[in-house]
């Protein structure tokens, strides 16, 4: 059996379990609407592998709260949209982060920050989640 490519413009499924009706969606919506890179990792444990990830070859721990995301497959250009969420064991969520350098097609470097109150220092947190939306090369 030869390996090949299946091309279609619309994905149609039977939802017989829930409604018994057919549903369809434009495949370009599926392709463009999903994260192209994502990872969940422990920022407190520099040597630990990611808890789970997609299209990420590795994370590099550069310094306290300073990480580089290394993509398995390159992004098409540098106009992608990264998102980063961090939290600690108490359940507190801190949305402070910044991209420290211009986006590259194969990596994205960011710094996790404690932005609660008056502190704005780099910080490792036990729950780090990163996603990236855009087009793959």
Q: Going residue by residue through the chain (137 aa), what tens digit of pLDDT does each one get? A: 456 555 655 556 666 566 666 666 565 655 666 899 999 998 888 667 789 999 999 988 888 888 889 999 999 999 898 888 777 666 555 555 555 555 799 999 888 776 665 566 777 888 888 899 988 88
What is the predicted pLDDT for the residue at 28?
61
Query: Which pLDDT value is given to residue 8?
Result: 56
Cα separation, 4 vs 24, in Å, equals 23
CB atoms within 10 A of CB 107: 15
11 forms beta bridges with 25
Among 41, 59, 66, smallest CA distance to 107 is for 59
Q: In this predicted structure, what is the pLDDT of residue 123? A: 79
Q: What is the SS3 assignment for 112? A: strand
pLDDT of residue 113: 74
Residue 15 is predicted with a pLDDT of 60
pLDDT of residue 25: 57
Q: What is the pLDDT of residue 137?
A: 84
Helical residues (DSSP H) of 12-104, grouped into ranges: 27-33
Structure tokens that stand for 116 in this block:
């609660």
Cα gap 9→28, rounded to integer Å:
7
């Amino acid at each position: 059996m030869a390996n090949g490519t299946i091309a279609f413009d619309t994905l149609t499924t039977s939802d017989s379990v829930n409604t018994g009706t057919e549903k369809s969606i434009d495949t370009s919506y599926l392709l463009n609407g999903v994260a192209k890179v994502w990872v969940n990792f422990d920022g407190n444990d520099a040597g630990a592998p990611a808890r789970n990830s997609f299209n990420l070859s590795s994370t590099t721990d550069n310094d306290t709260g300073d990480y580089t995301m290394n993509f398995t497959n390159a992004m098409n250009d540098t106009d992608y949209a990264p998102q980063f969420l961090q939290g600690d064991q108490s359940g507190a969520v801190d949305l402070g982060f910044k991209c420290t350098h211009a986006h590259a097609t194969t990596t994205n470097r960011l710094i996790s920050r404690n932005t609660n109150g008056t502190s704005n220092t780099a910080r490792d947190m036990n729950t780090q989640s990163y996603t990236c939306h855009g087009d793959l090369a």
